Structure 1
């Protein structure tokens, strides 16, 4: 439940809002102890909508299984398509898709730890680098693949976008320093960046309007959960998620063998060697082979790459590049043994059986965790976190949202709110310095309070104040201040007061959404026109 409680709370908020007819979710009113935290503004939500929509048809647990399985299947499809475009080999593409999708680190993200943002992002990594390959080395007319890949990554996990962008810059510099790059390729690269901005720009508007200069406490820039290279090797050969070594933050047996011996097979192919080197370097960088602890005291390093927080996040990208090498090695070995399509088909069939067997072996600790517990989650207190030894089923699922999430509860609080988090999470209303109880109702992106006062009263409400926060008293817009605990503070006159505290997105946000919609329609229209043109020709 390390990260899953955070993401499932977000998905439940979207579901509750959709039930009440609200398409957009900006702040948390139903979950996260009703603090109004705006992690929906600063953390992508697009791919949580399918999970929320599944709730209208299936029970919550079934919805999660379907959603996780859906992205596992989509990873297979995108990986297959990407390798087929890259290598033109159906056999190699099939092998690559199986290897990449079933890497233990991928299963750790989706099945063991519930790191759903990064799990979804993993799906689209092949598209990003296929697109970059075409822009810099391949078919330069396929520049749109890079835009689509980066856009989907933006809709999944911002830190994955950060790492992918950094790697793209490194590869671009390698291209510039070693080979001449044509003006046409540079133009297509700029076109790709421009279209990405059109498609995903709305996702970053809240950072401009509600984050920059707004005293928001972002996740700390620090290097945590450091694993040694020996841990990576031993954990990989253990080949399980949730095992004693690294919990599954590993490459698995096949990719670790590829890391050790791959150079022998790829040394005569420039592009294959480049992929192998990238995968190997990223795998090494994910461990304490680099002295991350010392680098954490370097301001420059923290400000540039400290955002990734956990160096093991590089394993997603290491897995991608090493899976390319592994598929190449298997392809060359089989190609050297037989030219028969029938025999290659048998190899593929055998590889599928091995992959399925390996998959169930890899996730066995996760299955044992589910079947071996009988302690069901009950209703929690506001500041209580979810214990690791509890079972959640369709009957007690809503109990998950009665307490605090195991991680991320205070992400994107203001810095003042972080200092007073306990009282905010407890829902403490302060009137003239004293605790006050009142009626409180929850709506999509808005909370309503009924407060009766017998004199002029300063009221500090337990809801975080952001740049876009709005307040109404008795139906009329009302000015507010930010309290010492980073929450909404208002001065009420004597009498009955009905206070609405909500959030209003900026015009720029909706404007960029319209731009995205128009861009999608133009691209679809152009695609349909090209298809019809080719058919007529």
Structure 2
């Protein structure tokens, strides 16, 4: 009972801190979009989820060309944002409330994951605020508008907890890794790749000094296999479409690394338009080094993993050996800062609350740190929002941008060479470019045409994927990929009404069903195997 009371107090404080975290943007009643960042992209994703359970395509977002973004960019963990939009009818309120919800979830997950490892309320709370208020996470949210990566960060402590159990503690609790990785799969695939890389590296290093090697390897494989089957609903439809047509996919970047001088200056200034660990973590990392004697060997290993990850994100690391490999898909070396933030937050929260036997003293230290973190965060966000190079969306602008924003990733590759068809929404009928009136709902694109030629070939400005359905006067007809990289079909003579829409393929539906059944089995297995999974006071 005492444990539940303490947890309830912690949760109430976390809710209060979550409100303080997003307060700088909520009070503006606006959405800030910095040039060349991702805010508009994710606004379009949110508004485009209205029909996602019946169709992977929404004609009222991403410029209306029928991009199947929801087949290639996981959307399940973003769906609560659409539910908020349905309730409020206000995209600005939705966007800001979703970040409030996300911050609360991030802090709660971080708190309980650390508590399961260390069984200390103060350490868990400290880790929660340091990790969730970290500079890099704020950069993702307030500067980059990188909603997918920000959500993935919420599940990073779960991945960490799962790895901690498998590598260093009770390997029978492998399911925490499955849970964390599966949630990441349904959020942000690039984060899945980065998680897998870090898990592999840490395992290779750890395997030399861990006990029960065979059992730990078996349980790591078990966690991986469950993750794969739980994720079939994402991977199979994506692979199916990629093999069906040639698509424009995101390219790898040039992995230069960050300049050390810039890194230090921007970190000390807690500049949220940069990608460093931030002032608090920088000072805490130095503090932790001086108190490393109070850390266990595993904690010290994790601490130095954080230091090495910071090093790896800079130009001191020989990235030229890697940038020509397939790993350049990570695009930017500063993405590693997410993992440096995790490792240093973990070690820092332990060092900050360790070897202090008086609870009143620890409480004062945690309160002081919380005040400092909130103050620096608030000042840094306000400084960021006053920088140049941004657009400020009101309610009408946010809605307009979410519908008109054009994003060409996962479009038919050849369509990029024909903007006169795609961007201008022109039709090509028997080789002649024409403008036709059309109407759209979220799911259906409709137009009428008086066809004077038998067997006329009609090229539309809509992308072509497996699962596209073309109906002429209520009857389905064959369609194909045109030389313009869009959907084409043949029509008989006379007045025609054409409806074009997309459905999930049979294989996609089957993979989704399999993942759902596996989820039910996973829940049954975990609750049967370990009923204490819901009890945060259980021993790790």
SS of the residue aligned with 1:463?
Answer: coil
Report whether the alignment pairs 1:252 with 2:278.
yes
- The 1:290–1:420 alpha-carbon spacing in structure 2 relative to 1, beyond 3 Å, is farther
Please report how far the alpha carbon of residue 238 of structure 1 lies from its aligned counterpart in structure 2 after TM superposition.
Answer: 0.7
TM-score by length of 1: 0.86
Q: Match of 1:137?
A: 168
Q: Match of 1:324?
A: 346
Report whether the alignment pairs 1:269 with 2:291.
no
Q: Alignment partner for residue 365 of structure 2, among 347, 371, 377?
A: 347
Q: What are the within-5 Å matches in structure 2 for residues 118-517 of structure 1?
A: 118-212=149-243, 214-223=245-254, 226-241=257-272, 247-260=273-286, 262-266=288-292, 269-292=296-319, 295-296=322-323, 298=324, 301=325, 303=326, 305-332=327-354, 335=355, 338-368=356-386, 388-405=389-406, 409-421=407-419, 423-456=421-454, 457-517=456-516
Q: Match of 1:377?
A: none
Please report how far the alpha carbon of residue 290 of structure 1 lies from its aligned counterpart in structure 2 after TM superposition.
Answer: 3.0
Counterparts of 2:227 and 2:275, CA distance in 1? 31
Q: Alignment partner for residue 53 of structure 1, among 53, 75, 83?
A: 83
Q: Match of 1:379?
A: none
Please report how far the alpha carbon of residue 57 of structure 1 lies from its aligned counterpart in structure 2 after TM superposition.
Answer: 1.9
Contact 1:472 / 1:500 at 8 angstroms: preserved in 2?
yes
Any idea what the Cα deviations from partners look like across 1:211-256, whole Å, max 9, x if unmatched? 1363111101222685312212111111132xxxxx1312111222
Any idea what the Cα deviations from partners look like across 1:351-372, whole Å, max 9, x if unmatched? 2222221220121124436xx9
Please report how far the alpha carbon of residue 345 of structure 1 lies from its aligned counterpart in structure 2 after TM superposition.
Answer: 1.5
- The 1:421–1:280 alpha-carbon spacing in structure 2 relative to 1, beyond 3 Å, is farther
Any idea what the Cα deviations from partners look like across 1:498-518, whole Å, max 9, x if unmatched? 222222222232223222322
Counterparts of 1:528 and 1:162, CA distance in 2? 28
Q: Match of 1:100?
A: 131
Report whether the alignment pairs 1:11 with 2:29.
no
Q: Match of 1:384?
A: none
Contact 1:240 / 1:364 at 8 angstroms: preserved in 2?
no
- The 1:91–1:260 alpha-carbon spacing in structure 2 relative to 1, beyond 3 Å, is closer
Any idea what the Cα deviations from partners look like across 1:476-527, whole Å, max 9, x if unmatched? 2211221122101122221112222222222232223222322333344455
Contact 1:42 / 1:207 at 8 angstroms: preserved in 2?
yes
Any idea what the Cα deviations from partners look like across 1:264-291, whole Å, max 9, x if unmatched? 4336732122212221222122222235
Q: Match of 1:40?
A: 70
SS of the residue aligned with 1:499?
Answer: strand
- The 1:166–1:458 alpha-carbon spacing in structure 2 relative to 1, beyond 3 Å, is same
Counterparts of 1:331 and 1:434, CA distance in 2? 73
Counterparts of 2:296 and 2:76, CA distance in 1? 39
Structure 1, unpaired ranges of 5+: 242-246, 373-387
Structure 2, unpaired ranges of 5+: 1-32, 536-540
Q: Which runs of 4+ in 1 moved over 6 A?
A: 532-535
Structure scoring higher RCO (CA < 8 A, sep ≥ 6) equals: 2
- The 1:101–1:533 alpha-carbon spacing in structure 2 relative to 1, beyond 3 Å, is closer
Query: Which range moved further: 345-354 or 131-140?
Result: 345-354
Contact 2:244 / 2:465 at 8 angstroms: preserved in 1?
no
Counterparts of 1:258 and 1:360, CA distance in 2? 19
Counterparts of 1:403 and 1:534, CA distance in 2? 44
Aligned residues: 496
Any idea what the Cα deviations from partners look like across 1:157-183, whole Å, max 9, x if unmatched? 100000000111112222334445443
Q: Match of 1:519?
A: 518
Superposition RMSD on alpha carbons, in Å? 2.5
Contact 2:470 / 2:499 at 8 angstroms: preserved in 1?
yes
Any idea what the Cα deviations from partners look like across 1:370-420, whole Å, max 9, x if unmatched? xx9xxxxxxxxxxxxxxx543212233322135334xxx100112211222
Any idea what the Cα deviations from partners look like across 1:48-107, whole Å, max 9, x if unmatched? 211111012222211111101111111111111111112222211111111111111101
